[in-house]
Amino acid sequence: MKLAPSVLAADLADLKPCLRLLEETACDYVHFDVMDGHFVPNLTYGVPLIKDARKHSSLPFDVHLMVTDPAYYIGQLASLDVQILSFHIEAVRFAPRLIRLIREHGMRPSVALNPQTPLTEIEHILPLVGNVLVMSVDPGFAGQDFIEQVYAKIESLAAFRDEHELVFTIQVDGGVNAGNADELAELGVDIVVAGKAFFSCDDPRGFASRVQSLSR
């Protein structure tokens, strides 16, 4: 699997060494959690921080928008070498149009869904997206416990992908750690986000290479 550490769990007032650590440990993406205080209760950061982070990282960026108006961010993020751009299905009314816009701006469109949102809400757009971000905690904060019921959703999503010969990647975000990474890989997950498990462990390099060695 690929690893996308979430800088939300890093020291936001001292991001440079954290970004360096991600490069040194050969992580695959830098995951940015943009929260607007409306879609989720927490408020984090927006484009200015991501823009400054770009100066200190050559890794691909993976931006997770937990905001009520994702369209507002598309143009601004396109110029920052953002590879994956996730919006939440619960926030939008015209998903196919938004997906097209993200693609036109050169980014991989990704749909995110909360633990309580069923897969049926996104089935119609699965042929259009390049990635599905399955939330395994209620979005808003790093350091929460993985919601075990989400395993069944991941399994169904991987089965749907096989059955319909679709090509999107599956990303899991929230409470991922060394204890559940094996099972996620076996279910067919391609990318995991890790906040606390990466930034609070004694051996981030070991954690990264272990996650990256796992596959179905």
Structure token digits, residue 146: 């993985």
According to the binding rule CB under 6 A, does residue 70 interact with ligand DX5? no
Asked if 33 is an active-site residue, the reply is yes
For residue 163, the minimal CB distance to Zn ion (Å) is: 27
Name residues contacting Zn ion, limited to 38-67 (CB under 5 A). Answer: 64
Helices (H), the chain: 15-24, 47-54, 71-78, 95-104, 150-163, 181-187, 196-199, 204-213
According to the binding rule CB under 6 A, does residue 204 interact with ligand DX5? no
Cα torsion 164, 168, 172, 177: sign: positive
Region of 72-80, 121-129, 137-145, 181-189 interacting with ligand DX5 (CB under 6 A): 137-145
Asked if 145 is an active-site residue, the reply is no
Name residues contacting ligand DX5, limited to 112-131 (CB under 6 A). Answer: none
Nearer to Zn ion, 100 or 134 (CB): 134
Q: State the Cα–Cα distance between residues 204 and 80, nearest whole angstrom.
A: 26
Of these partners, ligand DX5, Zn ion, none, which one is at the site of residue 8 (CB under 5 to 8 Å by kind)?
ligand DX5
Name residues contacting Zn ion, limited to 15-34 (CB under 5 A). Answer: 33
Please name every residue paired with 59 in a beta bridge, in sequence order, or none if there are none.
Answer: none
Binds ligand DX5 (CB under 6 A): choice among 46, 109, 130, 195: 195
Name residues contacting ligand DX5, limited to 139-168 (CB under 6 A). Answer: 139-144
For residue 63, the minimal CB distance to ligand DX5 (Å) is: 11
Most distant CA pair in the chain, distance: 46
According to the binding rule CB under 6 A, does residue 181 interact with ligand DX5? no
Please name every residue paired with 170 in a beta bridge, in sequence order, or none if there are none.
Answer: 132
Output the DSSP codes for 81-136: TEEEEEEEGGG-S-HHHHHHHHHHTTSEEEEEE-TTS-GGGTGGGTTT-SEEEEES
**Residue from 36, 62, 173, 190 carrying the catalytic annotation:** 173
According to the binding rule CB under 6 A, does residue 137 interact with ligand DX5? yes
| CA distances to 122, 131, 154, 163 from 166, in Å | 13, 11, 15, 8
According to the binding rule CB under 6 A, does residue 8 interact with ligand DX5? yes
Structure token digits, residue 4: 């996308």
Q: State the Cα–Cα distance between residues 89 and 31, nearest whole angstrom.
A: 19
Active site residues: 33, 173
Catalog residues that contact ligand DX5 under the rule CB under 6 A: 6, 8-9, 31, 33, 64, 137, 139-144, 173-176, 193-197
